[in-house]
């Protein structure tokens, strides 16, 4: 009993003394990797294109490594956790092909690009050298994979043509209408480039929600996914219209690459959490587009899109709580009274 108490005391001390950035980022990395790894195992099994399958295997290998290493680093600091998802319980039918290889490639591109952005952001905030080195190794590896994926997309003719006819900004003369003229203009290259990730995220979101809504068993989850499909479709349409109004071609319609299957490849729990995982990505992408714009009506439109995602995310959060499917992060010991 005495040794158990000492062990328990050491665990608490380890948790209390752990830097909040390291704890938060490692937990987020471990929990996200745990979920994505089940998803990647399925994509590897169902993808027929040998080149895409090879990149999937590379990503899965790195993602498995980062889940295991994050667990180890957390354990060294006294924090113990168990996997929230596993192949035995959450991967039902690994051979049913829900997504075409083209859609799988688009999903893969989305996972890689947003994973890189998140890792880079977290890396900049880390202060523990051992953990920072681990994140740097992940960044270097995923950068190489992203480079290979870009080459593959180019070879297969799957890169979107985002050609942009531009001109240099004209000098604004006079004082009376100088500020007003900054609002009565097309969008500039910086504003448009920071919107592209949001469009891609919603394109993938439409396809995922459309596919998963056909196979889930739980009616609440089905309705949630149908709401998600409608939201992602409307946001993709809004963003596409903005691009087209400013002379930039776009493409949508990834949902056409969803196959009809009889049984779900995943548990409803995994599907609901995968969709919820996209929400902060969508909000972050839109926020990035807001902070670089000085055109008021454009900023207001993007804020409205964020509010829509926030409302959808709140519904999903309540749903996960009711189903006991919410993987809650570690809490502060501080009791504010």
Q: Quick one: which of 195, 208, 202 has its CA closest to 244?
A: 195
| pLDDT computed for residue 181 by the predictor | 63
pLDDT over 60 at 283, yes or no: yes
Domain boundaries, the chain: 8-159, 182-331
Q: 27-41, 156-170, 185-199, 285-299 — which is least confidently predicted? A: 156-170
155-166 pLDDT, tens digit per residue, is 888 776 666 677
pLDDT over 90 at 335, yes or no: no
| pLDDT computed for residue 188 by the predictor | 86
Work out the average pLDDT over 86-98. Answer: 94
Share of the chain above pLDDT 90, in %: 69
Task: Please tell me the class of the 8-159 domain.
Answer: mainly alpha
Q: Is the pTM of this model over 0.85?
A: yes
The residue count for the chain: 337
d(C-alpha 52, C-alpha 46), whole Å: 11
Inter-residue contact 27 to 46 (CB < 8 Å): no
Average pLDDT in the chain: 88
d(C-alpha 237, C-alpha 243), whole Å: 10
Work out the average pLDDT over 261-285. Answer: 94
Q: Quick one: which of 277, 252, 290 has its CA closest to 115?
A: 277
Q: Domain 182-331 in CATH: superfamily?
A: Ferritin, core subunit, four-helix bundle (1.20.1260.10)
């Amino acid at each position: 009993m005495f040794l158990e108490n000492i062990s328990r005391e050491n665990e608490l001390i380890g948790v209390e003394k752990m830097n909040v950035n390291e704890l938060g980022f490692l937990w987020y990395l471990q929990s996200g990797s745990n979920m994505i790894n089940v998803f990647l195992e399925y994509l590897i099994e169902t993808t027929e294109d040998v080149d895409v399958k090879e990149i999937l295997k590379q990503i899965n290998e790195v993602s498995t490594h980062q889940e295991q290493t994050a667990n180890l680093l957390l354990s060294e600091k006294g924090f113990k956790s168990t996997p929230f998802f596993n192949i035995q319980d959450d991967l039902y039918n690994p051979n049913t092909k829900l997504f075409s290889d083209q859609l799988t490639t688009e999903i893969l591109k989305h996972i890689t690009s947003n994973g890189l952005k998140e890792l880079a952001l977290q890396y900049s905030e880390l202060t523990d050298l051992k953990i920072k080195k681990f994140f740097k190794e992940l960044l270097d590896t995923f950068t190489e994979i992203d480079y290979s994926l870009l080459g593959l997309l180019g070879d297969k003719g799957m890169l979107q043509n985002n050609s942009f006819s531009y001109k240099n900004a004209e000098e604004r003369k006079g004082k009376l209408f100088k500020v007003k003229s900054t609002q009565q203009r097309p969008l500039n290259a910086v504003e448009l480039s920071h919107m592209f990730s949001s469009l891609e995220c919603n394109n993938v979101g439409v396809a995922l929600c459309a596919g998963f809504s056909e196979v889930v068993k739980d009616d609440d989850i089905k309705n949630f996914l149908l709401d998600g499909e409608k939201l992602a479709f409307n946001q993709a349409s809004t963003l596409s219209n903005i691009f087209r109004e400013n002379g930039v071609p776009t493409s949508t319609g990834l949902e056409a690459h969803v196959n009809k299957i009889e049984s779900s490849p995943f548990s409803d729990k995994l599907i609901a959490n995968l969709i919820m995982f996209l929400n902060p990505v969508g909000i972050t992408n839109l926020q990035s587009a807001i902070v670089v714009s000085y055109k008021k009506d454009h900023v207001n439109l993007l804020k409205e899109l964020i509010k829509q995602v926030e409302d959808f995310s709140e519904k999903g959060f309540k749903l996960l709580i009711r189903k006991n499917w919410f993987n809650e992060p570690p809490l502060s010991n501080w009791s504010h009274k």
